[in-house]
Structure formats: structure tokens, C-alpha cells
Structure 1
């Protein structure tokens, strides 16, 4: 009978060790999933920035007059109360448009 008890105790220790390993792997997997989601979010953000900068570049390439026009103030204001330039507004609209294309619900909340 004591052999059975010892075997049961050994089996229980092995099972507990395997359960600990399983818990550790599950935790590691969850942490990696979170990291992947953060990286995917960063990729979306970078794609939106690239689209906005490309829109600005293309605008400036269209005409030399656009350089001066890009500095003009608009009737829109930043959070700090200063007026936005045409160039800033162009950036924001291209950024938001790309965000919506990528499935971002409120891309404007991703910008400053």
C-alpha cells in the first residue's frame, strides 16, 4: 500500500509541475499577444503618418506657389489655441483618411 501512496504522491508532483509549466506558457503567450497587438497598432500609426507626409510632399511638388500657400493659416485651431496652417490641416486630413481606410474608428484620437 505504501508503494501506491508514494506513486500517487510522485504522480501528483509531476502533474503540479506540468500545470505550473502550462500556466507559465499561457502567461507568456498572453504577453506576446499583447506585444503583437501593440506592434500592429504602431504599424497602423506609421502607415497613417506616411500617408500624411506623402500628401504634403505631393502638394508641394504640384506648384512652387504651394509652398507659400502651405504656410497660410486656416480657421481651425490646435488644442493649444493656435491656428492651424494649411499644411497641418492637409496632414491631419490625409492621416485620418488613411486611418479610416485601415479600419481605425477614430483616427483623429491617434494624432496630437
Structure 2
């Protein structure tokens, strides 16, 4: 076998290895692309749920303006505005769920 044939065979092996590596990375990228698309779809679904829940809350406030849930709790936002009892219940549920999901300080992720 000539030197040129040996070099050619080695180069072919390197080319095949590079193509295999490239193909593996392409598959990995496609897998991550699907994960990202699924996550975005889930976030959009959650956003739609929040919009629906906000509509329910708005309707409740309009139909029941004197509800005890809408009365003051004596707790304040950082700007001094009083929080409603409903807000306190929201914060407790928000923080509890955040901790269940492994978020160390869920309070940082909501208006206070």
C-alpha cells in the first residue's frame, strides 16, 4: 500500500468520524428544538389560563365590590398601598407552589 493510499484511508476515517459527530449534534439540536417548542407551547397555555382567571377576578370585583375578600388586610405593599385579603391568600398560594416547584425564594418573583 502506498503512502498516498494510507494517508487517503486515514483522511477518509477522519471524514467519516467528523460526519458522524456532525449528525449526532444535528440530532441533539433537533431534540432541544422540540423541547423548546413544547416549553413555549406550555407557557402560552399557562398564559391563556391566567388571562381567563383574570377575567373571572375582574368580574368578581365588579359583581361583589363589598366582598370581605376585597377588604383591607392591614398588610402593605412596598409602596404603602394596603393589600386585600384576597391578595394575601394569593401570595400564600403563590409562595407555597413556588417552594413545591423548588424555587428557593418565590417572594422575589411576585409584586410586593
Aligned length: 94
Q: Secondary structure at the match of 1:100?
A: helix
Determine the structure 2 residue equivalent to 1:74.
Answer: 73
Structure 2 gap segments, 5+ residues each: 61-65
Determine the structure 2 residue equivalent to 1:100.
Answer: 99
**Equivalents in 2 of 1:9, 1:101: separation in Å?**
54
RMSD, aligned CA: 3.7
> Alpha carbons of 1:17 and 1:102: their partners in 2 closer, same or farther (altered >3 Å)?
closer
Q: C-alpha displacement at 1:93, in angstroms?
A: 1.3
**Equivalents in 1 of 2:34, 2:74: separation in Å?**
45
Q: What do residues 62-83 of structure 1 show as CA deviations (whole Å, max 9, x unaligned)?
A: xxxxx53222222222244321
2:22 corresponds to 1:25: no
Q: What do residues 51-104 of structure 1 show as CA deviations (whole Å, max 9, x unaligned)?
A: xx7xxx9xx9xxxxxx53222222222244321111111111122223334443
How does the TM-score come out when normalised to structure 1?
A: 0.54
Determine the structure 1 residue equivalent to 2:16.
Answer: 14
Q: Secondary structure at the match of 1:84?
A: strand
How does the TM-score come out when normalised to structure 2?
A: 0.54
Structure 1 gap segments, 5+ residues each: 61-66
Q: C-alpha displacement at 1:30, in angstroms?
A: 5.5
**Equivalents in 2 of 1:98, 1:7: separation in Å?**
60
Q: C-alpha displacement at 1:14, in angstroms?
A: 1.4
